[in-house]
Structure 1
Amino acid sequence: MACPICSEDSNAKYRPFCSKRCADIDLGRWLNGGYAIPSDNPEDAEDVAEAMDAELRAQNAQQQKPH
């Protein structure tokens, strides 16, 4: 089986990747949204924006509380 990142032979220890480096590259792509599925639905973008705004408000409120 070929590594999905560099096409080298995969290594059983890092399957389906050939090395920790390629596994880390793949993980970085997931974490940065590189594998996100695009949507034409504007409601999806609105839902994400609302959730992010709510999270920021909660974080700001938490920071402003006296200790």
Structure 2
Amino acid sequence: MGLLDKLKNKTQRAKGRAKERAGRESRDPYLEAEGRKDRTAGGAKQAGEKAKDPVREIKRTTNR
């Protein structure tokens, strides 16, 4: 499940960057802000997934 979550987070960050860029080009501050929100949310989720990795690795090595 971790790989799929990481992929979703990266996709959300990319979508946010695209919205932010489109908002800047069209001079739409609401679209730009929405893109920034998507980008930061994806980044925060990605950080959470990265924090889970060492815990998963410890569990995997101790069960052997």
TM-score exceeds 0.5:
no
The structure whose residues are more often helix, as a share, is: 2
Taking structure 2 as the reference length, what is the TM-score of the superposition? 0.45
Give TM-score scaled by structure 1 length: 0.43
Select the structure with the greater relative contact order (CA < 8 A; seq sep ≥ 6): 2
